[in-house]
Structure formats: C-alpha cells, structure tokens
Chains A and B, each alone.
Chain A
C-alpha cells in the first residue's frame, strides 16, 4: 500500500477497481478494522476510527466467500449483529431485511441448503440489517456464474438505492464496477490512478502511471506532428487528435517526432471495405488493413484487423445491415472521429501491465 487518499461521499456507491494484489482488499480490511494502517487516518464522518476495534466500528462487510455461520440458520445469521449490539426486538428488522433480499421463505434453513446466489444475498442482508455507516463488499459476486452475477449487480444497485447506505465495493471486473457504482476508483500498485464516474472513466481513461492500458482500448502507435499525429505508415497524411483542452489529451505532447499512442474504444471504430472507402479523409482518423478474423456475436460483429503497420485492432461493428458482414481477408479502412480518440504517451510498451492485470 502506498500513499492513498480516498473520499467517499455519504450515500454513494463507490467501487474500487483493480487487478488482484493492487491493494484494494487491503484498503477494505483497513476500513473494516481487520488490518491496521502503518500510517494515516481513517475517518467516518467526524469520528476517527483508525485504531478502533473491528466490532466497535459502524462498518459491516460482505465477505468474498460470504462467511455465513454454518451452525446457525438464516434468521440467526441475519440477527447476529443486532443481538451483539443488544437490540432487544430483532424480529421486525430481520424480517424486513429478509424481505429486502426476497428470501423470507428460507429463514429457517441452514446456509449450506441455499444456492450460491441465495447465500450471497443472505450475506448482504446480514450486513445491511445493521444499517452501518459504510457497507463494504469484497468481490461479493466473484463466486457466482455470469448470469447470476448480472442479476445480482442490478439487485445490489436496487438495494443500495432503496436503503441509501454508503457502499464501498471492491472488484477486478471493470464491467461490474461500471454497472453499479456512482464513482469508480482505479487502483494499481497501492495507489489510485484515476477516479470518476463510470462514463468518464470509460470515455477518457488515463494511461496508467505504471503503464497499464485501460481495456478495452485499441492502441495505434504513431508519431506526433504539429497539430496532430501520423499513423503507422509515415507517408500518410497528418491526422487530427483531440483538442489540447479535452481530457482525452491528458496533456500528452504531440510535438513533432514524439512517439504517441492513439487509443480508441473498439465500438467507436467504423469499418468499411477499402474499395468503397474512396479518398483518404482530410479531417478524421483512419488506419487501413485487412480483416484477420470475424465473429458474429448477435448484437454486433467483432473483427480482428491487422493494420498495414502490423498492429492488431479489434472492432465491434453494430449489426445494422445484415448483408454487410466482411469475410476474413477483406481489405478495410478503419475510421473514427478525432474526439473519440485519446492520446496516450507512446514512450512505454503498449502491452505493459496487461499480463499483470489478469
């Protein structure tokens, strides 16, 4: 863990996104009190809880493996926190919590008799019933299959909106973080690299300080030229980059000769047959290449294109026209609007950090 400063607004759904070993779980354990920071402070509202015992904090955790108590039934599991705090009448609150997760019918069952998704919801109810100031979720959906995960993402968001608690959610799944959170913090090697609402993170990701490329981003290497950049075939025309004041530029210089990477999200690339493309556009970004492989995904078609510069670029093309599928080998032109691209410093290896991330 490095120097880390986080401000989580009350009542928000906050996601900590990062690869395993980046320090996100450690951050969570510090907030819950299971680990102590070597330096620094943890505050909730006005009270400092840095060295408070875990059971004295207004914080509850949904553990990755749920950690339901196997010798107690669901009702007792959910009532556990209330009873420890000396709440006399737990019946009503537990019933409400079970209703919130729509599992009132299994109150008398043991955790092992429930499915993974149900156990997950019980773990959530067990934490929520205490109305903590902060609810921590440690990869809560990691053990579920894809379909159930989608369902639970929406469910979690619904519950958070309904109860209005502050959620801090730790995950390595970018999609999951974006689906649920109001604010996403991208964490790497113990520091926050970027923080903002999901759309901002997606549309203008930062090229990580430690060289991790935000995904999915299709990078095209090139050279800076005055007022723009030049693609992989240097004799081609100058192409524009986002204006200097746009966040996508991130202050990366494109003075002549500097190496740059221009990245673009794969769904923002238009793909056309080279034969139909006509003249090279004077204002706009493009790369030429040929289709290497094509997979039909239903809502879209994914193309793998090898550019003439030898780079691989993925393109998601919406299936607006049934007949417009391009078979492998087709010469194509990929183009995108200048303000859809973002400029990354090209000095670093574009694949750095990718293996680390997985």
Chain B
C-alpha cells in the first residue's frame, strides 16, 4: 500500500483520467444551457417593463405577473386553448385507450393495417394534415371555429395516445390477469383491480401528452380555426405587431406548472418505491 501512495501516476495519465471522468459533465452542462436558454430568456423578459414591443430590456417590473390579462386577447385565447385541450384530452385518451386495448389484446383481420394507419398521422407533416383537413371542412361546408379545432386536435392526438398506452399494455404480463381469475376474480374484477391500475400510468402519460400536444399546436389549428383564437395562434398573430410581455408570463407559468407536475409525479413514485 505504502509504495502505491508514494509513487504518483504520471501527469499525462492524471490529466487524461481527469478529463475522462469529467468530460460527460461538461457536455451535460453545455447541452442543458442550449436547451434551457430560450426558457430562461422568456422567463426573464416576462419581468420586462415593455413598451410597444418586448424585444429590448427596459426595466424590471412585476406588473405583468400581477396583471397577466393586461394585454388585450391574451386571457381569452388561453381559456380557449385550455378548453380545447381538456376536451381533446378526454376524448382522445378514451378512444385511444380502447384502440390500444383492441390492438394488443385481440387478433383480428386488418390488425397490422390498423397499426400502420394509426402511425400515419404522426408521420405526416402537420402542414399537409392541416391543409387537407381544411379542404375537407370547406367541401363539407363545416363552419370553421371551435368545433373544427377540437376535431382536428382529436385526430392527431389519438395516434399518440394509442402508441403510449399500447407500449404500457404490451409490457403487462397477461398471466397477471390469469392469476387474478385463478384467485376468484371475475373478468370485470380482474380488469378493475389488476389491468386498469397497472395500465393507469400509461393512460395518464397519454393524457398529459395529448393535453400538451393540443395546447401547443399551431399549424393545424391555424388552418382550421377561422376566427377562433388559441394561445399559440395569438402569439403568432401578435408577433407581427409585437408580443406583449403577458405572453411571456403565460408561457413561463405553463413551464413551471409542467415542471411542478413532473416533480410531483417523480416524488410520489419515489415515495411509493420507498414505502
């Protein structure tokens, strides 16, 4: 032992091993800066005492946070977006979960075709989806507005729900249900007590995904919304005149709400593991 401590490894070796140990850390820091810089910028400028445009820093103020509905149209568009997203989440999660169950559990004619068709909306460029939907609505004389936006969002959200729930369901051992039935649970009870609780995290994840996809969508919405304004559309439209600082407040708030949800989920799953 003493001889090992007496002779230090050569300098070159020590530098190399130090680099080897810390290179990943450098990389991680740079990657996170790259990812989070826009968020930090948005957050910082939500405190800007902006004049007509929120492009240059004037002075610090809390006014925007204290009065997030201060700018015209901001809050109505947020309410619109949330309403649409909630309806879309409920409908697409319900329908998508049913589709996922039938695709995983049953063997039927056209099953693999259905699998492929489900993937299609995810692979198709949104511009194409949005414009063809618009053409469809126009041909059917459907007035553009709230309902067309909801229909369009449900269409592309279902695919993501199906894929998410399917992944969870596929990893579920069918023998667990058999074991439940072996232990005197009827089909209905086995589903309620075993299958549903085990698939629930997948369904919840799919729901959150659908919500954020719907809330976030601009391209398809812009084609199919007519006079109806969602938050992304509001931001886009106002960009030509200058985005009000309140938009930064809403965006930052959404970011922190999302962050809080993720942290809560992590915390509760950790507590469940520790219990």
**A residues whose Cβ falls under 8 Å from a Cβ of B:** 32-34, 53-56, 59-61, 63, 65, 67-71, 80-81, 84-85, 108, 110, 126-127, 130
Contact = CB atoms under 8 A, between A and B. Distances in A.
Identify the interface centre among B178, B183, B198: most chain A CB within 10 Å of its CB.
B183
Contacts of A59: 182
A235 B184 CA distance: 68
Interface in B136-192: 173, 175-176, 178-186, 189
B242 interface: no
Given A63-B175, A65-B173, A70 B198 contact: yes
B183 A84 contact: yes
Given A67-B173, A69-B194, A71-B197, A55 B178 contact: no
A63 B194 CA distance: 16
Which bucket holds chain B's interface residue count? Answer: 10 to 19
A84 B181 CA distance: 10
**B interface majority secondary structure:** helix
Nearest to B194: A69
The 4 A-B pairs of least Cβ separation, nearest first, read A81-B183, A67-B179, A84-B184, A67-B175
Nearest to A85: B184
A54 B178 CA distance: 9
A44 B189 CA distance: 25
B189 A67 contact: no
A123 to B, nearest CB: 9
Given A63-B175, A69-B180, A80 B185 contact: yes
A130 B178 contact: no
B225 to A, nearest CB: 42
Nearest to A80: B183
Contact of B183 (A33, A60, A70, A71): A60
Contact of B182 (A32, A68, A108): A32
Contact of A80 (B173, B180, B275): B180
A34 B182 CA distance: 8
Given A63-B175, A65-B175, A55 B182 contact: yes
A55 B198 contact: no
Contacts of B173: 65, 67
Given A67-B179, A84-B183, 13 more contacts: A33-B182, A34-B178, A53-B181, A55-B182, A55-B185, A55-B186, A60-B183, A61-B179, A63-B178, A67-B176, A69-B176, A80-B193, A84-B189
A180 B221 CA distance: 69
Contacts of B197: 71
B198 A71 contact: yes
Nearest to B198: A71
A67 B185 contact: no
Contacts of B175: 63, 65, 67
A55 B179 contact: no
Contacts of A81: 183-184
B182 A61 contact: yes
Given A67-B173, A67-B175, A71-B198, A60 B189 contact: no
B268 to A, nearest CB: 13
B235 to A, nearest CB: 41
Contacts of B185: 55, 80, 84
A61 to B, nearest CB: 5
Identify the interface centre among A32, A65, A71, A110: most chain B CB within 10 Å of its CB.
A71
12 contacts: A32-B182, A33-B181, A34-B181, A53-B181, A53-B186, A55-B186, A56-B184, A67-B173, A67-B175, A80-B193, A81-B183, A84-B185
Identify the interface centre among A54, A59, A127: most chain B CB within 10 Å of its CB.
A54
A34 B178 CA distance: 7
Contact of A60 (B182, B194, B273): B182
Interface string B26-44: 0000000000000000000
B171 to A, nearest CB: 11
A28 to B, nearest CB: 11
Contacts of B186: 53, 55
A178 B173 CA distance: 31
Contacts of A61: 179, 182
A60 B193 CA distance: 18
A130 B198 contact: no
A203 to B, nearest CB: 37
B181 A54 contact: yes
A33 B178 CA distance: 10
Contact of A130 (B179, B184, B193, B275): B184
Given A71-B197, A71-B198, A54 B176 contact: no
A81 B185 CA distance: 7
A80 B197 CA distance: 15
Given A84-B184, A85-B184, A130-B184, A63 B198 contact: no
Nearest to A60: B182
Nearest to B178: A34
Nearest to B182: A61
A127 B197 CA distance: 22
Interface in B65-121: none
Contacts of A108: 275
